[in-house]
Amino acid sequence: MTEATTTGMERPPLSRPAPIGAAALAGAVAAGLALGLTELLAGIFERIPSAVSAVGSYVVDGSPSFVKDFAISVFGTADKGALAIGTAVIGVIIGALVGRAGLRRPWVSAVAFGAFALLGIVAAAGQVNVNLLMTIVGISLAAGAGWLSLRFLLAALGSTDPLDHAPASPDRRKLIGGMAGAGLLAAAAGGVGRQMIITRSESVRDKMALPPARTTVAPPGPAASLDVPGISPIVVPTKDFYRIDTALVVPRPDPATWRLGVTGMVDRELSLSMNDLLAMDLHERYITIACVSNRVGGDLVGNAKWTGVKLTEVLDRAGVDPAAGQIVPRSVDGWTAGFPTAAAYDGREPLIVIGMNGEMLPPAHGFPARLVVPGLYGYVSATKWLDEIELTTWEAFDAYWIPRGWAKEGPIKTQSRIDTPTSRTFLESSFVVAGVAWSPQHGIERVEVRVDGGSWREAEMSVPLDDTAWVQWQATVEAAAGRHDIEVRATDGSGYTQTEERAPSRPDGATGYHLVSVTVG
């Protein structure tokens, strides 16, 4: 055939490679489907943990201390939600990379989703109340569904070219429909599964009633609170109370099967059920607790009414060995704290808490039981979702945060905070400065304020609910037009006045005066 006879013939179209971007999207959708299905299975079956939370817990435990500190400083009490979202996002990004690689190397997707299943199973195996066989089957099925969906989408993508403006082919419709369907299923499965997990725990807690306490505290009277807009409430509502812990997803032990063990250097080991605790004498106390990560002027501190059993009553039942110098409480997720045994018997009266602000403990704050030790930062004492209390020597064990660079002893430092006005506020020449101050072992004796480094002036204080609770304070300030720095300091019941020296939270709590800068117009 001559060239002339072929000139008018139509050349066969050149095959074009499938678009990499669409392959990445397919991989992201498939990964999202696998993650969503693990959430759904965790919601349907109580003994199958979520792969997102299980892998995220590994991230928390394996991260350097500075990463945890950064998360707390940036996200505050929302750090768990941020990490959960971040874990899912990273999974989807990895899925996108797998989709791109699997476009020309189909074996990559099989290996990747197999690795996803293996990682999820290994991480989930360390979770609480897990059924290993159900977990292996469930996570494997979720990973398999993700892999099959990716194979389907890549197969449809092979004959699709978004640069071709011809009418959509059946394969293109299959691709678009497949991506939309898988994406919607992923979102629905994840959302429904997460809600089922939350609802399951809340329904159990809602059926429980907090028994009346043997010793009670009166509601705060008019003298216990100052009527100043913007000041922190003397008792922080439960919904507004800060939350800092290492749990990516809130543990939800079944109170019907939950047990609190008292072990180690004791005369007799105990295993207490929820009914055992409810049958003991309950006591109410107003106690301010704080996180050691709280910066000067920060909000990782709060005062609540706690109801629980005296820790000493439980320890006395077990019989503490005189050589036991450390109490090591453990959470159901394996987190540990540790504080001197003497702190249980020096008059501060720690509580095994089951109630908060007149109701059963919320899951986020430790249901079914937690520890509250007045005067100690949470990282050495305030164990949520309490599982075990071990008696040991001081030298024998270092709790979770100690190898990560924090001090082994964590007494709460005397602190004060300005709640109102806030920095960069524009004010009249006469205005009210107000806030809170706390020293949960010694109480607050005096609060003072000063303007622009001048002389200290004593502020008015609310009547303390207890030495273990914070107080409110207020002072009227008059200042000329211009910018002014306002500082506050507190003196506790032992006569100690908080230091002006600035120190970071690590290793044993921040120090310094809280300062706000305002402008008088």
Per-residue pLDDT tens digits for 398-437: 999 999 999 999 999 999 999 999 998 899 999 999 999 9
Per-residue pLDDT tens digits for 182-228: 889 988 988 898 788 777 666 667 778 899 999 999 999 999 999 99
Per-residue pLDDT tens digits for 41-77: 988 887 887 777 777 665 556 556 555 555 555 545 4
What is the pLDDT at residue 95?
Answer: 87
Is pLDDT at 14 greater than 60 in this prediction? no
What is the pLDDT at residue 202?
Answer: 66
Burial class (CB in 10 A: 0-12, 13-18, 19+), 469: buried
The token pair that represents 124 in the structure block = 């989930």
Q: How many CA atoms, within 13 angstroms, populate the side-chain half-sphere of residue 14?
A: 2
Return d(Cα 159, Cα 226) in angstroms, integer.
72
Is pLDDT at 6 greater than 80 in this prediction? no
pLDDT band, residue 162 (cuts 50/70/90): very low
Residue 192 and residue 43 in contact, taking contact as beta carbons nearer than 8 Å:
yes
Return d(Cα 196, Cα 43) in angstroms, integer.
5
What is the pLDDT at residue 221?
Answer: 93
H helices of 158-285, where? 170-206, 274-279
Is pLDDT at 8 greater than 50 in this prediction? no
Walk me through the domains of the chain, giving residue ranges and CATH numbers: 20-205 (no CATH), 222-392 (3.90.420.10), 415-520 (2.60.40.650)
Per-residue pLDDT tens digits for 343-398: 999 999 999 999 999 999 999 999 999 999 999 999 999 999 999 999 999 999 99
Per-residue pLDDT tens digits for 476-488: 999 999 999 999 9
Q: Residue with structure tokens 């990490």?
A: 83
Is pLDDT at 166 greater than 50 in this prediction? no
Per-residue pLDDT tens digits for 489-509: 999 999 999 999 999 999 999
Average pLDDT over residues 459-485: 97
Is pLDDT at 5 greater than 70 in this prediction? no
Is beta strand 370-372 parallel, antiparallel or unpaired with respect to 301-310?
A: unpaired
Per-residue pLDDT tens digits for 235-284: 999 999 999 988 777 787 878 789 999 999 999 999 999 999 999 999 99
What is the pLDDT at residue 255?
Answer: 85
Is beta strand 514-520 parallel, antiparallel or unpaired with respect to 457-458?
A: unpaired
The token pair that represents 492 in the structure block = 């506790």
More confident residue, 487 or 5: 487
Average pLDDT over residues 24-53: 86
Per-residue pLDDT tens digits for 94-139: 888 998 888 788 889 999 999 988 988 888 887 666 888 999 999 9
What is the pLDDT at residue 272?
Answer: 96
